[in-house]
Amino acid sequence: MQDNAQQEEKILTFDELGLKKEILKSIKFAGFSSPSPIQAQAIPVILAGRDMVGQAHTGTGKTAAFSLPALNNMKLDGSVELLVITPTRELATQVSDEIFKYGKNLGVRTVTVYGGSSYERQLDLIGRGASVVVATPGRMLDILKKGMLNDFAPSMVVLDEADEMLDMGFLDDINEIFSYLPTNRQTLLFSATMPQPIKTLAHRILQDPEFVSITKGETTNSDIKQLYYVIDEHERDDAIIRLMDSEQTNKSVVFCRTKSEVDRLSNVLSNAGYLANGLHGDMEQRQRETVIKGFKSDAVKVLVATDVAARGIHVNNISHVFNYHIPFDPESYVHRIGRTGRAGTKGKAITLLTPLEFKELQKIKKIVGTSMEHTYVPSKNDLRQTNIENMVKKIENQKIYDEAHLILDQLKQDIDEETIMFKLVSMLLDKQDLKGPSHIGIPADKLENILKRAASRGNDNSRTRNRRGRGHHRSSRGNSYRGSRRPRTRN
If you compute the radius of gyration of the chain from its CA atoms, what whole number of angstroms results?
28
Give the residue-averaged pLDDT of 266-292.
89
> Who wins on pLDDT, 388 or 230?
230
The model's confidence at residue 2, banded by pLDDT at 50, 70 and 90, is very low
The model's confidence at residue 77, banded by pLDDT at 50, 70 and 90, is very high
Q: What is the DSSP letter of 213?
A: E
Model confidence at 141: pLDDT above 80: yes
Return the bridge partners of 252, or none.
302, 320
- Residue 225 has a CB neighbour count (10 Å cut-off) of 17
Spatial separation of the C-alpha atoms in residues 182 and 165, rounded to whole Å? 22
Reported as half-sphere exposure (CB side, CA atoms, 13 A), residue 172 has a value of 2
Model confidence at 54: pLDDT above 50: yes
Please say whether the beta carbons of 277 and 266 come within 8 A.
Answer: yes
> Who wins on pLDDT, 204 or 366?
204
Give the residue-averaged pLDDT of 441-458.
73
Q: What is the DSSP letter of 432?
A: -
Nearest to 187 by CA among 162, 211, 156, 166: 156
φ and ψ at residue 194, rounded to 5 degrees = -125, 65
Spatial separation of the C-alpha atoms in residues 199 and 186, rounded to whole Å? 17
Helices (H) and strands (E) in the chain, counts: 21, 14
- Is the alpha carbon torsion for 6, 9, 11, 17 positive or negative? positive
SS3 195: coil
Nearest to 336 by CA among 258, 229, 281, 256: 256
Spatial separation of the C-alpha atoms in residues 246 and 239, rounded to whole Å? 10
Reported as half-sphere exposure (CB side, CA atoms, 13 A), residue 288 has a value of 19
Nearest to 340 by CA among 357, 358, 376, 316: 316
Spatial separation of the C-alpha atoms in residues 210 and 207, rounded to whole Å? 9
Model confidence at 40: pLDDT above 70: yes
Please say whether the beta carbons of 89 and 115 come within 8 A.
Answer: yes
SS3 215: coil
Model confidence at 310: pLDDT above 70: yes
Nearest to 305 by CA among 334, 281, 329: 281
Window from 8-22, 312-326, 476-490 with minimum mean pLDDT: 476-490
- Is the alpha carbon torsion for 193, 198, 199, 205 positive or negative? negative
Q: For the chain, give the mean pLDDT.
A: 83
Expressed in percent and rounded to 5, the helix, strand and coil fractions of the chain are 50, 15, 35
Give the residue-averaged pLDDT of 32-43.
86
Give the residue-averaged pLDDT of 42-66.
88
Query: Nearest 5 degrees, angle CA 461-CA 467-CA 471?
Result: 140
Q: What is the pLDDT of residue 478?
A: 38
Give the residue-averaged pLDDT of 447-463.
64
Share of the chain above pLDDT 70, in %: 86
Indicate the helix (H) or strand (E) that contains 61: none
Indicate the helix (H) or strand (E) that contains 226: strand 224-230
φ and ψ at residue 111, rounded to 5 degrees = -130, 135
pTM: 0.59
pLDDT digits (tens, 9 = 90+) for 327-356: 877 777 887 888 888 766 788 999 999 988
Q: What is the pLDDT of residue 204?
A: 94
pLDDT digits (tens, 9 = 90+) for 185-207: 999 999 888 889 999 999 999 99
Amino acid at 490: R
The model's confidence at residue 48, banded by pLDDT at 50, 70 and 90, is very high
Give the residue-averaged pLDDT of 267-274.
93
Please say whether the beta carbons of 109 and 156 come within 8 A.
Answer: no
Q: What is the pLDDT of residue 472?
A: 44
> Which residues are CB-neighbours of 400 under 8 A, at least 6 positions away?
none
Q: What is the pLDDT of residue 489?
A: 39
φ and ψ at residue 18, rounded to 5 degrees = 80, 30
- Residue 305 has a CB neighbour count (10 Å cut-off) of 26
**Taking the mean position of all CA atoms in its chain, how far away is CA 410?**
53
SS3 274: coil
Return the bridge partners of 82, or none.
132, 156
Please say whether the beta carbons of 45 and 4 come within 8 A.
Answer: yes
Give the residue-averaged pLDDT of 269-276.
93
Nearest to 108 by CA among 116, 118, 96, 120: 96
Amino acid at 289: E
The model's confidence at residue 89, banded by pLDDT at 50, 70 and 90, is confident
> Who wins on pLDDT, 463 or 18?
18
- Is the alpha carbon torsion for 195, 196, 200, 201 positive or negative? negative
- Is the alpha carbon torsion for 219, 87, 27, 292 positive or negative? negative
